Each structure stands twice: as structure tokens, then as C-alpha cells.
Amino acid sequence: MCYICLLFLWLWGCLFPHQLFLRFCESVGCEVAALHRRIAEIVEVAAKSGVNIVCFQEAWTMPFAFCTREKLPWTEFAESAEDGPTTKFCQELAKKYNMVVISPILERDETHGGTLWNTAVVISSSGAVLGKSRKNHIPRVGDFNESTYYMEGNTGHPVFQTQFGTIAVNICYGRHHPLNWLMFSMNGAEIIFNPSATVGKLSESMWPVEARNAAIANHCFTCPINRVGTEYYKNSFTSGDGGKAHHDLGYFYGSSYVAAPDGSRTPGLSRVRDGLLVVEMDLNLCRQVSDKWNFKMTGRYEMYADKLTEAVQPCFIPNIIKERASH
């Protein structure tokens, strides 16, 4: 008998004008609480749709304010991944609805001197914290300025076993690094989530391609999730490109979708408003496509491993064959 595993996902693109929460609440705690209430309403709808796993966008409890280069109030949004208020809130949702919850937050690691990380907390359907996955690749492009706030991740490529399948979280900029996807897949991920915060002028032409290609190359499902809307900040900032100072990072274009290992994909969510995408998955497709194409069997990884080890050494010399000079 063939057992078919059906998985439902909920992906959220944020259209919340965060500055409105701060204007009316005048405190970080008030804004976070308001977002908690909003998410609770939407997750209830997702639960009624039979959802098993829910994933929110990158740094979902705050504006993506790293472009401002201001530390306050933005670092005040950071909280413990293990027992912070957002994790406790998500634990309640997970237990109430028997749902795995993936909650990407700005993490403050008090155990290591209050170091900040961009982290996705994975909570089991039992309500227990399964673990966390930190952002491996920090952008050095555009106005994001994330390296000013937090470190590159040190958790590697963890994969989490849930009752609904094995899952991993490749946060935002890691989407541009094929080896990042590969290592999550090599560790056994059937579904790789990609919670993001990216803007149209920079990356929209790449958005439909990268995660879809990763699904094909790694015989797994991929789920890129993006914000929606424009976030405006009180103080203007420059981009280092000689242009005028401005008050926003750009337009977050949403368009969240799910790609399958056979190359098919869902339509994208809206570019202009909140979205709830519920997708039924047959995880048997991962094995079926792998048996057909055998990309991992034919990968010749040992060949690349040796050369990559050489390439990161200071004395590395590229293997370029040139025409010999005639005499």
C-alpha cells in the first residue's frame, strides 16, 4: 500500500503598516502585541482550512528597519528564541491547533552577551520548541545594512523532524546561494521554507526563479515568503549611491508561492495585500522525482568538495588554461 502524506502550508505576506502601530501604541511591546493579535486571527482561519505547518515572513514582529542604520528602537524588538514573548505566543498557537509554527524573529542571545541574530524558531505541533535556524548569509547589497545589527548564523543547516514531514528554514538572502539549499536538502529536508523581506527594484526578476530552481535541483518543496507594502521611517537615510536621502527601503512585493520538486509551482500571492496561501503537498513526490532524475546520485560532490576546499585558501590559483606563447 502506498501511503500519501498530504501537507498544508500557510504563507503570509505582510501588509501591516508598522509605523501605524508605533504611532498609536508608542511602544515596541504594544506593536508586537498588536501583531500577535492579528496573527492569532489569521492562524485560526488557517487551522479551519486544515493547515499543518504555518510559516511567517522574515522578522515578522517588526518593521524591516535595518536600512535606517539606527539601533533604537529597532533592537528593542529582539527577544529570546527559547522563551521570549513571541515564542510563547507561537507555542500556544501550535498546541491549540496541532500545528507546526515557524516564527522568524530578531533574536537576542543573552547567553552570549546579548548577541543579535536573525533567527527562525521552529515549534512542534505539541507546543515544544524543536530548535532554531539562524540566517547563514548576510547581504552586502542595497540598503539592507543587516551586518550592522546581527551576525552570520552559526547553526549550520538544521533539519527538523515533525509529524508532517522534515522541514528546514533558509532565511532570505540564503536564497541566492545554491549550496545553502543543497545542504538543507542533504540533511534530509523535504520542505525548505524561505522567509524573506526583499524589494522589487532589487530582486523581483529573480524571485520566481531561484526557489523554483532549488526545488528542482534538490528534489524537495520550497516555499519563498515575502512581505508586502512599503515601510516608511521618520528619519531619512541615504543609500551610498549619491542619490537623495529617502524614508523607505522600497516596495516589498509579496508574491509568496510554493514550488514542487517536479518544477511545478502555485500562483503567487498578491503584490499589494495580505495573503494566506494553503497548499496541499504529497511528499512522496520528493522520492519519485529523485528516482527519476537522480541529481544526488550523479552529483559528484567529492569532486566539488576538494576544489572548494582549495578555493578558500589564500594560496589558491584558478585553473585557467592559456595559449602558450609561440617562439
- Catalytic residue positions, numbered: 58, 135, 172
Q: Which three cell numbers stand for residue 206?
A: 529573480
Contact 20, 234 (CB under 8 A): no
- 229 beta partners: 252
Contact 255, 267 (CB under 8 A): no
Q: Which three cell numbers stand for residue 151?
A: 551576525
Segments in the chain forming alpha helices (H): 18-25, 28-48, 85-97, 178-186, 200-203, 207-218, 284-293, 301-311
DSSP secondary-structure letter at 259? B
Element containing residue 12 per DSSP (H, E): strand 6-13
Distance, in Å, from the CA atom of 277 to the CA atom of 11, rounded to the nearest integer, reads 5
From the list 9, 319, 294, 59, the residue with the least C-alpha distance to 164 is: 9
